[in-house]
A and B are shown apart, each in its own frame.
Chain A
Amino acid sequence: MTSLVRVLLSRLLTSFIVLIGVSMLIFFIARVIPGDPARIALGPNASPEQVLVLREALRLDESIIVQYGYFIADLARGDLGISLYTNRPVTTDIAQFLPATLELVFVAGLMMIFIGLPLGILAARYRGRWIDHTVRLISLLGVSAPSFVWAVILMMTFAFILPVFPIAGRISDSYTIPVASGFLFIDTLLAGNLRAFANAGWHIILPAFALALSGIGQAARLTRANMVETYDKPYIEMARSYGFPEKRIANRYAFRPSLIPSLTIIGLDFAAMLGNAFLVEAVFAWPGLSRYGVAVILRKDLNAIVGTVLIISAAFLIVNIIVDVLIAIINPRIRHSQRPK
């Protein structure tokens, strides 16, 4: 257990350093891009004096180092500044939009794990047979088209032609759920409204699936490839020679040693989905952070850009830490490694 704690601590420390690096990078890049944020925010009809006042308020005329110092000082107080796009604190905006995206990405991640991995196991177990070919075709389709294409196709097919799923949004308008956490799945349960919970679940299936499809394909392909390799290992022959049930060989003895690369890829895909979510959110009118992020980038809303990027980076790092810890749990060699120091 102590080695798990050590893995966790070292990852937390490196993640913190990465976050500082990211904050510098995005802070400087956002300011280097041409265009005056004050002018964009105030519009073409504002007077030069008004622009000057706003530049003053935003401290845009200070040197960039000094600006960064102010930013860090504010950040330490949990203040990311005011968004010029919404005129609200960036933290308020993020608190409003982030839960929708996290919910979407989380459900998509679950789909990757609980659809992608089993498909890979099945394909490896029945390799060369029709199940294998079907799984490989599905994963190829998933990987080869971007998620927004699948979003449109799925929406056309299952919401428009066959109206099985709702066409857009997070929940039907008929439900009014008091906002507590911003996560609909939590808020509906807090309100004790199971029908609303089911309705929110019904809404998330299509966008989450569109988002997850490429990840499902990758997870299935990678799991299959690694398991096919594992199937040639002596310990699988030994399991067969003892007559272990074929199903247990697939689900346990061949799967677990093959899981680590798949887990790494799922972690990376999970994080990539935070970015990919934008187009899916656009197609399904999903009120998430990705849409907000693009809106503020187009308006050169400096505080909001930096805030959004920082939050997404933090989410990326957290997912990576979780994956590292999971790998340490699954791989006894890492868990039991007794590195000095």
Chain B
Amino acid sequence: MTALVLEIINLNLSFARHGEQTAVLHDVCLSIARGERVALVGESGSGKSVTARIVLGLLGELASARITGEIRFEGQDLGALSPAGRHALRGTKMSMIFQDPTSSLNPAYTIGAQFHEVLRRGAPKISAKAAKERAGAMLAGISMDQPDRVLGSYPFQLSGGMNQRVMIAMALANTPSLLIADEPGTALDVTVQAQTLKLMRELVEDNGTAVLFITHNIGVVREFADRVYVLYRGRIVEKGATHAVLTDARHPYTRALLAAVPRLTGGGIADIGEETDVFAAPMFDHGPGAEARP
């Protein structure tokens, strides 16, 4: 039994609005082992991103949010931690990559300055010079030419793909044990997306970083994830090894999701109705599966 990096147990989230509670997540359970890559798949509004933000502790400040359930990170109950204790984990033990790299970097500071700030999370006393060297090495390690030029540039001077690499390098700079990737590269070209995903995969394998990969792109899931959780309207409807889920989908929603993927061979886009009754079928668990890493 390998140690779990992240374990989410019966996570519920609801927002109070106009005196009413709107439930967003229903008893979500999810676990990620050390070094494992897990995809959380679902349509917009299914609750994927909000789950990631709860793990990071970014949602706690919203007074209207009510969160119940347990989140264990490296065996530690996050709910029992003080705000300062949770803050200490961010950027050091867990980090996040965002959807649009260019707008996720501050336009008023150079890449080097922002990288320095990130490295300061891991080593508070790091000097500008040491930070520059470390950042340069990180960028070189992610196949970026002229790292010095990149560090001296502003985000708007770099392409989306370069910014994405910078984001990946930043996210892994402090060797976190958990990386949350929230639809990374959705704003990029498919070719650039493929390149950066490959790089990211190599890096997390080298570092043994566990990844929670949030996406609606089935193709990316197939290439990247060991296991998949399918989220629909705040409920996990199917889970299992990537291969099992993608080749032998059992839940009606997963089937609809797979059918909706546009195919290069044509055949039209599947006609998916609002069959909420069918989609409300109980969760299907493929079990650990052969492909799940030991």
Rounded to whole angstroms, the CA-CA distance of A331 and B58 in the bound complex is 29
Given known pairs A242-B91, A243-B90, A336-B157, the reply for A235 and B117 (CB within 8 Å) is no
Binds A, one of B105-113, B138-146, B272-280: B105-113
Say whether A243 contacts B92, CB under 8 Å: yes
Chain A: CB-nearest residue to B90: A243
- Tally of contact residues, A, Cβ under 8 A: 21
Say whether A256 contacts B109, CB under 8 Å: yes
Say whether A243 contacts B108, CB under 8 Å: no
Chain B: CB-nearest residue to A260: B108
Given known pairs A235-B103, A242-B121, the reply for A336 and B154 (CB within 8 Å) is yes
Residue A330 is within 8 A (CB to CB) of chain B in the complex:
yes
Contact with A along B34-65 (1 / 0, CB 8 A): 00000000000000000000001010000000
Residue in B103, B110, B118, B121 whose CB lies within 8 Å of A233 = B103
Given known pairs A332-B154, A333-B156, A336-B154, the reply for A241 and B107 (CB within 8 Å) is no
* B92 proximity list for chain A (CB < 8 A): 243
Say whether A234 contacts B100, CB under 8 Å: yes
Residue in B91, B100, B107, B154 whose CB lies within 8 Å of A243 = B91
Q: Which residues of A contact B (CB under 8 A)?
A: 233-235, 237-244, 248, 252-253, 256-257, 330-333, 336
Rounded to whole angstroms, the CA-CA distance of A252 and B110 in the bound complex is 13
Say whether B154 contacts A238, CB under 8 Å: no
Rounded to whole angstroms, the CA-CA distance of A237 and B182 in the bound complex is 12
Residue B95 is within 8 A (CB to CB) of chain A in the complex:
yes
Chain B: CB-nearest residue to A333: B156
Rounded to whole angstroms, the CA-CA distance of A333 and B106 in the bound complex is 12
Residue in A233, A241, A252, A253 whose CB lies within 8 Å of B91 = A241
Interface of A is mostly: helix
Rounded to whole angstroms, the CA-CA distance of A166 and B203 in the bound complex is 68
Chain A: CB-nearest residue to B61: A240
Given known pairs A237-B58, A237-B98, the reply for A242 and B109 (CB within 8 Å) is no
- Tally of contact residues, B, Cβ under 8 A: 28
Say whether B108 contacts A332, CB under 8 Å: yes
* A336 proximity list for chain B (CB < 8 A): 154, 157
Chain B: CB-nearest residue to A259: B108
| 12 A-B pairs with C-beta separation under 8 A | A234-B104, A241-B96, A241-B98, A242-B90, A242-B96, A242-B118, A243-B91, A243-B121, A244-B121, A256-B108, A256-B109, A333-B156
Rounded to whole angstroms, the CA-CA distance of A233 and B110 in the bound complex is 17
Say whether B88 contacts A243, CB under 8 Å: yes
Chain B: CB-nearest residue to A236: B106
Say whether A235 contacts B121, CB under 8 Å: no
Say whether A257 contacts B107, CB under 8 Å: yes
* A244 proximity list for chain B (CB < 8 A): 91, 117, 121
Q: Which of A233, A235, A240 has the most CB of B within 10 A?
A: A235
Rounded to whole angstroms, the CA-CA distance of A242 and B104 in the bound complex is 12
